[in-house]
């Protein structure tokens, strides 16, 4: 996001002078800020690789197992679809957005999908 530009006009003995300056600003670019935060959430951490991957796997497995248990215990399928499908679709959109905005993170996004799938397999099998 570019900083605001203003014109300063000055008339003195040396003549008429117009000067354009840019105002300093501390405002951030919302689009790039959002992109980097999403990328941080989806990219696979190089420092805590095993904890990061396994925690994602465990959270996915827990969520799918709760959904699976609800269906087993006779909950209405539309309610389960609504309760777990909306977050699942949101997560899918999130990963897709990161791959779209940062193509370099495409492998990370694919691994997140894979972990999601493995978590579902653990819960359902």
What tokens appear for 76 in the block?
């209405």
49 interacts with other proteins by CB under 8 A: no
Residue 36 or 54 with smaller CB distance to other proteins: 54
Nearest approach, Cβ of 45 to other proteins (angstroms)? 11
Question: Which of these ranges, 30-38, 46-54, 95-103, 109-117, lies near other proteins under the rule CB under 8 A?
Answer: 46-54
List of E strands, 68-121: none
Burial of 44 (0-12, 13-18, 19+ CB in 10 A): middle
Of 50-89, binders to other proteins (CB under 8 A) are 51, 54-55, 57-59, 61-62, 65-66, 68-69, 72
Give the up-direction half-sphere exposure of residue 58: CA atoms within 13 A in the CB hemisphere.
6
């Amino acid at each position: 996001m570019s900083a605001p530009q203003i014109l300063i006009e000055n008339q003195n003995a040396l003549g008429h002078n117009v000067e354009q300056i840019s105002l300093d600003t501390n405002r951030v670019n919302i689009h790039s800020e959002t992109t980097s935060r999403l990328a941080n959430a989806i990219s696979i951490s190089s420092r805590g690789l095993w904890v990061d991957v396994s925690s994602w796997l465990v959270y996915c497995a827990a969520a799918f197992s709760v959904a699976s248990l609800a269906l087993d215990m006779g909950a209405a399928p539309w309610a389960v679809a609504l309760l777990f499908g909306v977050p699942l679709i949101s997560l899918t959109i999130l990963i897709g957005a990161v791959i779209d905005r940062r193509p370099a993170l495409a492998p990370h996004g694919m691994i997140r999908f894979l972990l999601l799938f493995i978590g579902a397999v653990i819960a359902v099998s």
